[in-house]
Amino acid sequence: MDVVVEIAFSIVSAVAERESVSPTDLPPLYTAVDPDTLEMFVESPLTEAVSVEFDYCGYTVDVSGARTVEVCEFDRVRTHSA
C-alpha cells in the first residue's frame, strides 16, 4: 500500500473510531488537506524533523515527517508559543 494512502487511512480510521462511525460516514480527507501537498510532505526525505497540522472533522491532525499520525480533539490540542 502506498505510504500516503496508509497515512490517509490511518487518519480517517482514527477519527471514525473516536466518533463511533464508519470511515465512509466521514467527509473525504481532501476536504481538509490537499492530497498532493500531503504526498510531497511525507515522501520528502527532508521533512523528517518537521510536521504538518490541519483540522479534520472537529479534530486536529498532526502528521510528522517520520510518518506518524496524532489525532487530538480541538480542546485537547497543545498550545504552541513563539
Output the tens digit of pLDDT for each of the chain's 82 residues.
588 888 899 999 999 999 999 999 999 999 999 988 888 888 887 767 788 899 999 999 999 877 888 999 876 545 444 4
Question: If 0-12 CB within 10 Å is exposed, 13-18 middle and 19+ buried, where does residue 25 land?
Answer: exposed
| Number of domains comprising the chain | 1
The β-bridge partners of 54 are 61
Say which DSSP state 5 is in.
H
Q: What is the pLDDT of residue 4?
A: 82
Pick the closest to residue 63 from 17, 3, 1 (CA basis). 3
**Residue 82, in any domain of the structure:** no
**Residue 35, in any domain of the structure:** yes
- Cβ(53)–Cβ(11) below 8 Å: no
**Residue 81, in any domain of the structure:** no
Q: What is the pLDDT of residue 75?
A: 64
34, three cell numbers: 490537499
